[in-house]
Structure 1
Amino acid sequence: LNADSPINEHIVKHGDGVKVVALWVEDATKSFEETTKRGARPFMEPTVEKDEFGEVVRSGIYTYGETVHIFVERKNYNGVFLPGYKEWKSDYNPEPVGLKYIDHMVGNVGWNEMNTWVKWYEDVMGFVNFLSFDDKQIHTEYSALMSKVMSNGNGRIKFPINEPAEGAKRSQIEEYLDFYNGPGVQHIAIATDDIIATVSQLKARGVEFLSAPPKAYYEAIPERLGDHMAMMKEDISELEKLAIMIDADEEGYLLQIFTKPVEDRPTLFYEIIQRMGARGFGAGNFKALFESIEREQELRGTL
């Protein structure tokens, strides 16, 4: 990186993290014009980039903190990624672990900012709030958070937005905001069709995940899944051994696990998720994740 690069400045301030959340659109120029007309702060005017494989149009706007959304129009491009990028060949070719696509990305914002950004996504992006969790649902004896999940019209894009809530000690959202120096992307969730196989392979390659919920969590799975237990294919003891969490909504169930932070700051981490009909997020898993991160906070001495 060049010393005067905007990304270099971002890394100095925030550490490793997410600067750009890119969205594939039909018309990047129209997306830019419409969102800025609705009040979005511009980041990048529509720009055409070309090479021998065609052309890509990109534009961008700011969202929470210093995070930006880049609109990518690539209907006239058939290259490997973007103009200027070449296919990379290497002798190092590990077998795929079954990761498919980004299921959702979660943002952490400051005190009393969640509803501001919910309204921004509604007014500027045309998203809807299809799920909410408050501090009565997501809390421990020490801390709490609130969250609202924003989604686009077809439900393929999901952006949960978290904010801190009052508690006896510093919540994990406050910890993130302190170490990241402001709002930003908390974690990226990647989908798989076989979470047991994916997690087993990732663990074998050294990926570290958050500690498992207590045994009572797994004993309560039949009650938590209700009628969905009949369609459950996974063995509960195998899920417990791998620390995979399971929850349900009205349409099905889902399995999730979360990595530890990927750098020395307790900021960005990853989630592996497998959906078995469920479209949303269960409150049980949300609370279990909150408790797992809080246990890590306690070990770090930052609770």
Structure 2
Amino acid sequence: MPALDIPYTEMYVVDRHKTVEYFTGSFGFEETAFSESPHVQSSLLRQGAVHLVVSSGPATESFLDEHGDGIADIALACDDVHGTAAAAVAAGGRVLPSDQGSVRVSGFGDVRHTLVPSGPEGFASVPADRTWTPARPGSTPSAGPAPVLSLDHIAVCLNAGSLHETVQYYIDGFGCERFYSEYVEVGAQAMDSIVVRSPSGGMTFTIIEPDAKRSPGQIDAFLQRNSGSGVQHLAFLVDDIVAAVREFRSRGIEFLRTPGPYYDMLADRIPSMTDQISDLSDTNVLADCDEWGYLLQLFSRSPHERNTLFYELIQRHGAQGFGSANIRALYEAVERERVDSE
């Protein structure tokens, strides 16, 4: 009774209209439906196979007070909702209160999972516990061809010491398979990561914890801003990252900048990328490779007040990894830039 896919993710935000404008006006999503009640107001955004629910209102305030803007619910499509819920409870999870027949179970931190039935006609891409009204066609700006294809993975940061227990919960409770693991050292900092994936390949979590024996780093900083475990970023799969970055950048998306020495070192790291270095440097896109191929990726700056959640663009050319070598390469590039400036 494994979970198969992620039909939608629900984000709680302080300012729903501002967040919807960010995704529609800059990232090219379309608002396809909305729901309004005294307790929660929600917008359904879609691009490619990605469905985002953006919600605010009294029902979201407790989460927002604790964590700020962030992912509160990751829906999981299942062949047997009640069987999956029972497996999650047996694995140490909890069934959570829900409305109108929805089944919800605990995930990590304060992030929950709504279990959605999957069948011959697919699964619902909106929460079933509220009434939805289709948005008027053309009510959000036209973004042209949609660069975002699907949700490649969800990156999760956990409090130190909880990684292996959480991974086992997703294996036993949701039928995930352990796909990849790596211990990453960056200077005096270090982190441990394990990737779990559904047997269908439609659901991938990159789960990370900091090494508490090493110096605090970016994972510790996220955990402090987020007041504990949570979703660090959503990774959107694209088929032409250079074109997508240029388009999104022209619409106001701010991406992280990459130090120049990174590209000086890239030809040595991945000789096959030499012809692409100019375009990658112009767009600050990062490159990594593994035994299956290579990938290109870039991260946005967080548009949220507490600098919690951010977004990744990723283009795959056979690679099945997640760009961990870029963490080291960026550290080395920054250090090289520092030394050269002295």
TM score, norm. by length of structure 2 = 0.72
Alpha-carbon separation, structure 1, partners of 2:158 and 2:230: 7
Q: After superposition, where does 1:230-245 map in structure 2 within 5 Å? A: 235-245=276-286
Which residue of structure 1 aligns with residue 190 of structure 2? 144
- Kindly indicate whether residue 305 of structure 2 is the aligned counterpart of residue 264 of structure 1: yes
Asked if structure 1 preserves the Cα contact closer than 8 Å seen for 2:267 and 2:274, the reply is: no
Which residue of structure 1 aligns with residue 142 of structure 2? 94
Which residue of structure 1 aligns with residue 112 of structure 2? 68
C-alpha change, 1:278 and 1:47, in structure 2 (3 Å) is farther
Which residue of structure 1 aligns with residue 132 of structure 2? 85
Alpha-carbon separation, structure 1, partners of 2:95 and 2:161: 24
Shift in Å, 1:216 = 3.4
C-alpha change, 1:118 and 1:292, in structure 2 (3 Å) is farther
* RMSD (Å) for aligned C-alpha atoms: 3.0
Shift in Å, 1:29 = 2.4
Q: Secondary structure at the match of 2:297?
A: strand
Alpha-carbon separation, structure 2, partners of 1:220 and 1:287: 12
Asked if structure 2 preserves the Cα contact closer than 8 Å seen for 1:66 and 1:184, the reply is: yes
Shift in Å, 1:109 = 0.8
Shift in Å, 1:80 = 7.6
Q: Which residue among 173, 178, 195 is the counterpart of 1:129?
A: 178
Asked if structure 1 preserves the Cα contact closer than 8 Å seen for 2:88 and 2:169, the reply is: no
Report which of the two has the higher share of strand. Answer: 2
- Kindly indicate whether residue 153 of structure 2 is the aligned counterpart of residue 104 of structure 1: yes
Alpha-carbon separation, structure 2, partners of 1:26 and 1:46: 20
Q: Secondary structure at the match of 1:10?
A: helix
Q: Secondary structure at the match of 2:287?
A: strand
Alpha-carbon separation, structure 2, partners of 1:234 and 1:87: 46
Unaligned runs of 5+ in 2: 1-37, 41-56, 336-342
Which residue of structure 1 aligns with residue 324 of structure 2? 283
Alpha-carbon separation, structure 1, partners of 2:163 and 2:291: 26
Q: Share of identical aligned residues, percent?
A: 30
CA deviations over 1:72-103 (Å, ceiling 9, x no partner)? 12546898845532221244423144111111
Shift in Å, 1:288 = 4.7
Q: Secondary structure at the match of 1:154?
A: coil
CA deviations over 1:142-170 (Å, ceiling 9, x no partner)? x3322111112233321111111247743
Amino acid at match of 1:271: E
CA deviations over 1:200-244 (Å, ceiling 9, x no partner)? 1111111111121x3332233344336xx2xx6972111111110
Q: Which residue among 225, 233, 247 is the counterpart of 2:270?
A: 225
Which residue of structure 1 aligns with residue 68 of structure 2? 15
Amino acid at match of 1:43: L
Which residue of structure 2 aligns with residue 171 of structure 1? 217
CA deviations over 1:235-294 (Å, ceiling 9, x no partner)? 211111111001111111111000112212121110011111112223312435678999
Which residue of structure 2 aligns with residue 250 of structure 1? 291
Alpha-carbon separation, structure 1, partners of 2:108 and 2:123: 32
Q: Secondary structure at the match of 1:144?
A: strand
Q: Secondary structure at the match of 1:138?
A: strand
**Equivalent pairs, count:** 277
- Kindly indicate whether residue 83 of structure 2 is the aligned counterpart of residue 33 of structure 1: no
Amino acid at match of 1:129: R
Shift in Å, 1:47 = 5.1
Which residue of structure 1 aligns with residue 7 of structure 2? none
- Kindly indicate whether residue 261 of structure 2 is the aligned counterpart of residue 208 of structure 1: no
Alpha-carbon separation, structure 1, partners of 2:300 and 2:215: 23
Alpha-carbon separation, structure 1, partners of 2:320 and 2:304: 30
Alpha-carbon separation, structure 1, partners of 2:214 and 2:157: 20
Alpha-carbon separation, structure 2, partners of 1:279 and 1:38: 28
Q: Secondary structure at the match of 2:270?
A: helix
Unaligned runs of 5+ in 1: 49-57, 295-303
Asked if structure 2 preserves the Cα contact closer than 8 Å seen for 1:138 and 1:283, the reply is: no
Asked if structure 2 preserves the Cα contact closer than 8 Å seen for 1:60 and 1:68, the reply is: yes
Alpha-carbon separation, structure 1, partners of 2:215 and 2:59: 35
TM score, norm. by length of structure 1 = 0.80
C-alpha change, 1:168 and 1:130, in structure 2 (3 Å) is closer
